[in-house]
Chain A
């Protein structure tokens, strides 16, 4: 198994090399650039599947690589994955070619740069999931921002500059605090370096934990995004090109939850356990608030964006409840959200390609003119609102079951999200698909092309497959989660027993 020792580096290098090759390609040859982008991203996907086949269902880090980088500060290029990151990595390598194919014809301007940025973005995202060194984590975390900033700023729509700057500043505000926290942590732990494993050995004293956790939590909460740090998301989504939205919703929003699980909670277990009720409170507000605001959006992309706030509220509720079941459900729900919401953004993009509008009121009666689009749109919508048989239900249900002991009141409130989700999704579907074709511009719309079908079918297949065969995924997620939950709970609650978390005024 010699090659498997370098799989993670190879996965970082493939898109990076791809980006360089495309950058060096002749500008006029747009077809070549697209083909190269697709080829490299597909190659990365293929390589990432080797991770799945070689992965053992155990808690430990696997495919670990470590190279000395800046020994003076104890910084090393330390990579590895466990059950929490494995499927997020696959999601990243899976969505990148899908997003590229999805914008095959809609991106006609600066195709070269577009492919370069998409591949660089992939490198950044993978790096975040691989990093086992805080310094490396931070580098990739920031590196990820830059391509996304350009994707929104160059290929976006009307208010793209405003949206791009807002996105950038919002996230930067959080990550600067995180950087400060990194440095404090480095000093406090005796400057052993930035290696995650070393830092975990040296817990910080509880008073400081609180502030450091707060800094981390803010950075991650903005990224999730949790209420009330979410207002960059609708703008970023509306202005971003389809591919940007897909990656943003599919992968970037997962960074927040991942950051909580990988860094904030294990590094500061006491603070995490103390703050968990507040995180859960914001999560539950997000579930209901996001769904309610989603209900009244006139723009399809905004509707889907606010629905993400609601869905990620579920994820964060599961993270905050911090039981093996709820956290496994949260990780699973991150994957599900990536697939369903990714597909929703792609389909809204397909409508935009045809009509150059995303205004719900502009549509109506599409079922008559685009029957296949309509059938798929309905299915994707159902998977998004967690109808059992689709993926979303398994994740949501695991989160609710696993969160009851910690936050029964919040679980009851969260169940409102189940009702509201049906309302906003079916209302949009009704206004877009049903009724007579009233707008003459919609009379001649073409149904899905073969390319679009190729983009959507894998997502739809996964939505159903993950809805029926969930243990094939959760069995690899669970051991790592169980170990995490055990360690954090043991370290986080020395006084009382871990099961009895104090909850702020349960909202019954």
Chain B
């Protein structure tokens, strides 16, 4: 970026170039695989797809690590934000005062994000080599995976909102392609379409947010927005001042991408995609984009009490409601999906109470343990020959020990067992809610923690403990996954254990440009949080290992609640009804058949008939009788004459 660098901008030769290479590798991988995928398939070299894509992901990770380590060495010891804005040298859009240069933003926040994306992304690429090795179309799969990586990196590195939006819609597109990867399945292509359309609802909000932000702040550059955030009032028309309107419109986008109520309906369906996709896109990276955006715009959000209340409130509501739905799911991936929705709500809860750094902290630890859990479930599904119903599992710990142990670690981490990663980030969120005296949010957060521990332990016990319920034939085929998959599980398990020791909130704090609040440490929150977690685990153990017939009894006694939860609180029903009965049926029978064909075209054709009828009538005058003509001529002459005389 030329002319007048903003405060804190670094001019470092390496940081001006290396971030672009982070983007280039996965893009090249996509192009190569897209163009030569057919040839590879023909030559029987489909395995190359996985190798090439993984190599590109790793190369991208290396460049990311290089950039981040460079940035870290340049960070000053004291407080203060340092960042680099590599500029590609030309504008993407440049009309009148609306200008979008192609520039990136490398600061502590995007540094954390690119490490998560490329790091976990690389692991999942490697895992997929094993997971997808029997799929004929795996080259196509890996090309999409590389393309996703590219767009996700554009999203977190883009230096302005429009560039972020390029990544934003790009990852949505890849998500669409990967959910519908097995396109011959109706349910898969349905789910892909639903994901894209629901996301577009959010995107429309995001577009409006950008339009308003540009109108009122005169810029969409992320650094300039952060600097100018205070220039517009948060309140105006009632509580809706420019700042608040921008924040709320953008938050609609965040709700779409990060699956917050009521736009969460696409994420559980997205489990139609191959499991590595669920791990990478629908747990660790893409769905956290909304959290990233809200935190990225913390200088704006933090100045609008209304927007913060909405973010925290909706996040909390999503956390609770999704957790209740997860309690009754029987599909192993659906439990994880609702769990993801719930955990994303947790992150918004953190952001909404002003703990942006903690939100990112939970984003990172969640990326580790949820990727681990999804890949672990993939390993289970792999062993079970694509069976996902937990009621047909059980006792798997003897057959797939590595998967079992790593999965146990992931479960413990998400449940908040002390000294694992989830414990630290979750504790920090609850502490933030507590310190800001949001008693209700704190209470609901605690309840969610309890439910989370319960449903995750339920999943774990149903899958790995007790007796195998899938029949002898299936039991005979149970097998541990290949080393490429198990190895990845082990690496992620290490991350799930130790991820909590990375001081993420301190690293990213300068980005938010907020005064640092000294946090008072009391024992109340960790004790309550730990008790909730352990209680949930114990209850699940009692209900699913000790007394396995208890859940049925409980369900029988609370039939109504059971039904509500199994119907997922009716959100999907409402969406389906609205789209098919109102939008499609209304467009068809009312707009198209009545208004378009009936009214408008009817009027047009009617006008045609009138002309036609007049012509037919006029034809009657041409009788060929000279006397008749003479009469008309005479009459006309009289009329004309009288007219002329009269005026």
Contacts and interface: CB of A to CB of B under 8 A. Distances in A.
B96 A415 contact: no
Given A293-B592, A422-B197, A426-B196, A387 B92 contact: no
A419 B197 contact: yes
Interface string A422-452: 1100110010011110000000000000000
Interface stretch (A68-76, A132-140, A474-482): A474-482
A435 B184 contact: yes
B93 A292 contact: no
B548 interface: no
A474 B90 CA distance: 14
Nearest to A431: B189
A401 interface: yes
Interface in B168-212: 169-170, 173, 176, 180, 183-184, 186, 189-190, 192-193, 196-197, 200-201, 203-205, 207-208, 210-212
Interface in B223-258: none
B94 interface: yes
Contact of A398 (B98, B184, B190, B192): B98
B251 to A, nearest CB: 15
B183 A433 contact: yes
A424 to B, nearest CB: 9
A405 interface: yes
A289 B583 CA distance: 11
A292 B587 contact: yes
Given A426-B197, A430-B193, A293 B208 contact: no
A471 interface: yes
Interface stretch (B61-69, B462-470, B596-604): B596-604
Given A292-B583, A329-B95, A482-B96, A388 B180 contact: no
A411 interface: yes
Nearest to A430: B189
A470 B92 contact: yes
Given A293-B596, A365-B184, A387 B604 contact: no
A295 B193 contact: no
A388 B166 contact: yes
A231 interface: yes
A387 B207 contact: no
B211 A401 contact: yes
Contact of B204 (A228, A368, A393, A418): A418
A404 interface: yes
A96 interface: no
Contacts of B166: 388-389
A247 B588 CA distance: 28
A422 B200 contact: yes
Contacts, number: 143
Contact of B583 (A295, A397, A470, A471): A295
B87 to A, nearest CB: 15
Interface string B76-98: 00000000000000111111111
B348 interface: no
B491 interface: no
Interface residues of A, number: 59
Contact of B98 (A401, A430, A434, A436): A401
A386 to B, nearest CB: 9
A311 interface: no
B268 interface: no
Interface string B562-588: 000000000000000001000110111
Given A296-B587, A368-B184, A388 B95 contact: no
A418 B200 contact: yes
Interface in A193-232: 228, 230-232
Nearest to B182: A434
A174 interface: no
A435 B212 CA distance: 41
B591 interface: yes
Interface in B383-439: none
A335 to B, nearest CB: 14
B183 to A, nearest CB: 4
Given A296-B592, A388-B170, A397 B96 contact: no
A292 B591 contact: yes
A415 B608 CA distance: 36
A436 B584 CA distance: 24
Given A231-B604, A436-B184, A400 B207 contact: yes
B165 interface: yes
A404 B204 contact: no
A488 to B, nearest CB: 16
Contact of A325 (B98, B180, B588, B604): B98
A173 B97 CA distance: 41
B51 interface: no
A31 to B, nearest CB: 33
Contacts of A289: 591, 595
A166 B608 CA distance: 9
Nearest to A485: B96
Contact of A400 (B93, B200, B211, B591): B211
A154 B614 CA distance: 29
B38 interface: yes
Interface string A358-385: 0000000101100100010000001000
B575 to A, nearest CB: 12
A178 to B, nearest CB: 18
Contacts of B596: 231, 293
Nearest to A412: B208
A169 interface: yes
B94 A475 contact: yes
Given A388-B166, A404-B215, A471-B91, A293 B587 contact: yes
Nearest to A288: B591
Most buried by A among B94, B205, B207: B207
Most B Cβ at <10 Å: residue of A375, A382, A422: A422
A435 B93 contact: no
A297 B92 CA distance: 35
A295 B584 CA distance: 7
A293 B98 CA distance: 33
Nearest to B167: A388
Nearest to B38: A371
B189 A296 contact: no
B97 to A, nearest CB: 8
Nearest to A173: B607
B214 interface: yes
B189 A468 contact: no
A389 B596 CA distance: 34
Contacts of A474: 93-95
A422 B196 contact: yes
A297 B588 CA distance: 8
Contacts of A393: 169
A328 interface: yes
A279 B215 CA distance: 22
Nearest to B588: A296
B162 interface: yes
A394 interface: yes
A474 B205 CA distance: 26
Contacts of B192: 430
Given A382-B173, A435-B184, A423 B96 contact: no
Contact of B95 (A325, A433, A435, A469): A325
A170 B604 contact: yes
A50 to B, nearest CB: 25
Contacts of A371: 38
20 contacts: A166-B604, A170-B604, A231-B596, A293-B596, A323-B96, A368-B184, A375-B34, A387-B169, A388-B170, A398-B95, A400-B208, A401-B98, A401-B211, A418-B207, A422-B200, A426-B193, A426-B197, A430-B190, A430-B192, A471-B90
What 8 A-B pairs come out closest when comparing CB atoms? A296-B588, A434-B189, A292-B587, A415-B204, A434-B183, A471-B94, A422-B200, A324-B96
Given A230-B600, A292-B591, A382-B173, 17 more contacts: A169-B608, A170-B604, A232-B604, A295-B587, A296-B587, A325-B98, A387-B173, A397-B93, A401-B211, A430-B189, A435-B186, A436-B184, A470-B94, A471-B91, A471-B93, A471-B94, A471-B95
